[in-house]
A and B are shown apart, each in its own frame.
Chain A
């Protein structure tokens, strides 16, 4: 229906359309740091150089200095690893550092580079989630699990089902309204029967803080071609949650000219990029 309406409107308006050069506000290229602490592993980051939205130039920094602070103390300087990845003919430089990360500690990441303004971001590492009583019924495809939430409030969990190869994501659904999907597949299923559908969902502890969350899911992606399936529950920092949520909404947003744009969340000081943290638990269900 809405396509028909849009078609009628746009058809009527096409004759009056012109491409224009606007005096849009411009800004100097800035450091955009995307970084994540993965518990028990390391910290990863890339530093992209931002460019104007209408004249994009993909460029990554190799020369930035990324310093990690733990509770205010300098604990590591990230170095470029040997991973090679190309985006738009530009090499991506991955920064990384090993460190024994502490649950609940405050981490600050600072990036500096000559001729660019320094940027910082803050996050804290959530504890590894405790997942119990996991069950899977292959006849109904229903999965049950309990998440034991620590007493501190504000915990957020990402829920995924992954195959054995390269964390291949499988689709699932839930009728539980506290299981939040942001990917925009609300019309994908019969919601009365299966609830909402998506490839990742989030649960916030505001309704079970310090208690147990009884999770009920239904596997929907039976054709993943995988012989093993894992339930992956990841405790994520608030900044990581806000970033992933905004990315999901952005990716599945209505792109009509009348829709309001989705702002991608950032907790870096120049509003570009994110510094998050996460701790995962895998439980094999099949």
Chain B
């Protein structure tokens, strides 16, 4: 039968009935009308029928003048096992798609593409098997093996926007049949649809709207996952750790959405390939660059302007992506400064990536990121004397990755990484002809290499294994001095306020995704970590277990247990996320952080798979925590080990509920978390357990985005959470020496007022003859709630009072974006 294009199930059945002059009868209550993209130009009638009925777990028999529909028999496990592998790519750009589902409906056989869009799937062969590839934001692609005798099959998915018809999101079987739990994916379009803040949408602000993730407060990019500490979140940009993700003292993150393709957060049930942090892994992947056509995008908002370009270097073989962003307020006001004064603040981001298909089996990726925040103040250069100062910080990351397909069963990726966070304060003094410069800087630098393998051993066992090594260089604080004064030139020009520390971080992992039967799948793995610091050697073998049991084709039960260790710590006042936050290493005196975690949950898909409902119960215990001594609040460069208390314990447990809706016109979610988390240090609160500062009992978020017309869409987000905890002064008395003593409450015994906020985004989009432009209006804090950012107490004078700082009131902003 000659057929190509997009058809609904109804239409396909009508076509078959009219062409063959038969009547197809079946129980309509089981029937789901869906749209299919038929890719091949000629298909057998049987193939088309399989397209329609396979997802419903029905089979059919063709008889003269009639077609009988019957309950589908399971795949014969004794059949020959075949392995199919390939890549899932965007049809229009050629970009490889991460976390796309590839599966055989109704059989339990399925997999997910890795970070490089690769999949490998083994299953008992049948000449009429249907394979589905799908990813949110793309139309599912359904293929028949009859038409594809080869073992290497690439799936090219169209974006939903590229389809003319309204498309119903198809069966998302594999979304709930995967073993992995506690994971949420977001693509760039979903993030862009959320309300912007000062004209900027932000990846981390979107992540904070997920269940189990809590912001530490407005004006901070730091976040808490399931009651953990902010330093327990690993943030990877193209596989490279990013140590400080804040711009503008934490108000924005360093991720420029125009350069981002995919974001995935794992907050529990960590597979063995993850390590190094206790509470979450946030993987942010940059765009690869369009392999087929040159495109660009850009825009400006209240705060910044940005431009991104991508296109082929050699069509279908090599491509590039480059994206830049800069705030521009300083450029506007600096010309109006008088008396020779020049002062300002700005931040910049530069993302770049090149990918090169060497041949069918080899591909190279080179990615780079540089971000900078700079505040400066310069006095008149013509004056006899002047004092200049500057404060700057930023990250450099780069990764070189080499994919190699050893066979249809074995995929390897070799990665070399570099990451540096640098913080610097400079002061320059000039008097007559003598200039003196003093710079303080702190820095952490990583050099890493790792090799990861995906091996499809059989239809039952799928194995991941890998090895990695990272060399860390911690330089907590150093001063450099340079001067033109002849009398001082003999001075030692570098003074280390705290000695630099060099550490070696090694890991090895293996995990097996074991399909025991169609209902039961386990992921069993172990992660071995070794860490060498100052002749102190730490190592651990960390078991990782997770399992999935299918209660029905659309309802799964999942559970996991993991043990994790973390060898680095962040000295931070988590409420503000300053660039002075100091990453420090475990030492012979400071133990690693350790955690046991367990979770159990269910995922249910319903309403033609438009709805997904996930519920999870989690428990986490923590050991080896550090905290500031009560007298300190900002990371000291010197003697930092004496400023902290160690060997703290903690626990967190709770319930997360996540209801997500996704259709062509409307998408969004409701996320609710009920949780409790505590901490315990021998030196604090008289050794008694106390509530964690961010122990918010209730946390509710609603995200809604609706396309009312092709041109206009409206996005709303609303957040409510219980106020954070604080220690407050209760009473005062006088001691034996006549000193007035203030008695404080038990630690974190007081709760701030609840936090809630509504944000709104209105977007107008128009297609033009050169591309598309859209402009929008965002309102942050639409009903002007004065949420407390900080409450502090002035207890020094006779008139004592409590002061509240609220950060952002009702704040409208606009943005204009374009793409071509």
Binding site for B on A (CB under 8 A): 1-2, 4-6, 8-9, 12-13, 16-22, 24-25, 27, 30, 32, 34-36, 44-46, 48-56, 58, 60, 85, 87, 92, 184, 186-187, 191, 247, 249-250, 252-254, 256-264, 266, 271-274
Complex-state Cα separation, A35 to B642, whole angstroms: 32
Contacts of A259 in B (CB 8 A): 573, 628, 630-633
Complex-state Cα separation, A55 to B750, whole angstroms: 18
Q: Is the CB of A30 within 8 A of B801?
A: no
Expressed in whole angstroms, the minimum distance between the Cβ of B652 and any Cβ of chain A is 20
Given contacts A2-B580, A5-B578, contact A53 B800 (CB under 8 A): yes
Expressed in whole angstroms, the minimum distance between the Cβ of A272 and any Cβ of chain B is 5
Cβ-based interface call for B575 (8 A): yes
Expressed in whole angstroms, the minimum distance between the Cβ of A219 and any Cβ of chain B is 23
Complex-state Cα separation, A256 to B636, whole angstroms: 14
Cβ-based interface call for B770 (8 A): no
Q: Is the CB of B632 within 8 A of A257?
A: no
Q: Of B375, B629, B740, B805, which contacts A13 at CB under 8 A?
A: B805
Contacts of B792 in A (CB 8 A): 257
Complex-state Cα separation, A48 to B227, whole angstroms: 41
Instruction: In the complex, identify which listed stretch (B186-194, B405-413, B724-732) lies at the interface while the others stay far away.
Output: B724-732
Expressed in whole angstroms, the minimum distance between the Cβ of A194 and any Cβ of chain B is 14
Contacts of A87 in B (CB 8 A): 734, 738
Instruction: In the complex, identify which listed stretch (B83-91, B346-354, B741-749) lies at the interface while the others stay far away.
Output: B741-749
Contacts of B344 in A (CB 8 A): none
Count chain B CB atoms within 10 A of each CB in A49, A54, A274 and give the residue with the most.
A54
Q: Of A1, A27, A186, which contacts B440 at CB under 8 A?
A: A1
Expressed in whole angstroms, the minimum distance between the Cβ of B745 and any Cβ of chain A is 7
Cβ-based interface call for B639 (8 A): yes
Binding site for A on B (CB under 8 A): 249, 375, 389, 391, 425, 440, 573, 575-576, 578-580, 628-634, 637-639, 642, 685-686, 727-736, 738-745, 747, 750, 786, 789-793, 795, 798, 800-809
Q: Is the CB of A258 within 8 A of B731?
A: no
Q: Is the CB of B734 within 8 A of A36?
A: no
Complex-state Cα separation, A53 to B741, whole angstroms: 10
Given contacts A4-B425, A12-B249, A50-B731, contact A85 B804 (CB under 8 A): no
Expressed in whole angstroms, the minimum distance between the Cβ of A10 and any Cβ of chain B is 9
**A8-B375, A50-B733, A263-B744 are known contacts; what are 4 more A-B pairs with Cβ within 8 Å?**
A25-B730, A54-B795, A56-B732, A262-B631
Q: Is the CB of B425 within 8 A of A22?
A: no
Contacts of B786 in A (CB 8 A): 18
Q: Is the CB of B738 within 8 A of A92?
A: yes
Expressed in whole angstroms, the minimum distance between the Cβ of B498 and any Cβ of chain A is 12
- B685 (CB) vs chain A CBs: closest residue: A263
Q: Is the CB of A34 within 8 A of B735?
A: yes
Q: Is the CB of A34 within 8 A of B633?
A: no
Given contacts A25-B750, A186-B642, contact A50 B790 (CB under 8 A): no
Expressed in whole angstroms, the minimum distance between the Cβ of B377 and any Cβ of chain A is 10
Complex-state Cα separation, A48 to B742, whole angstroms: 12
- A18 (CB) vs chain B CBs: closest residue: B804
Expressed in whole angstroms, the minimum distance between the Cβ of B287 and any Cβ of chain A is 33
Q: Is the CB of B734 within 8 A of A22?
A: no
8 tightest Cβ-Cβ pairs between the two chains A and B = A259-B633, A32-B733, A53-B729, A253-B631, A257-B792, A34-B736, A48-B733, A48-B734
Given contacts A1-B425, A49-B733, A187-B638, contact A54 B801 (CB under 8 A): yes
Contacts of B747 in A (CB 8 A): 260, 263
Q: Of B389, B630, B728, B800, which contacts A56 at CB under 8 A?
A: B800
Expressed in whole angstroms, the minimum distance between the Cβ of A267 and any Cβ of chain B is 10
Contacts of A6 in B (CB 8 A): 634
Q: Is the CB of A85 within 8 A of B685?
A: no
Count chain B CB atoms within 10 A of each CB in A12, A21, A250, A261 and give the residue with the most.
A261
Contacts of B804 in A (CB 8 A): 17-20
Complex-state Cα separation, A13 to B795, whole angstroms: 20
Contacts of B249 in A (CB 8 A): 8-9, 12
Q: Is the CB of B633 within 8 A of A18?
A: no
Q: Of A187, A257, A260, which contacts B630 at CB under 8 A?
A: A260
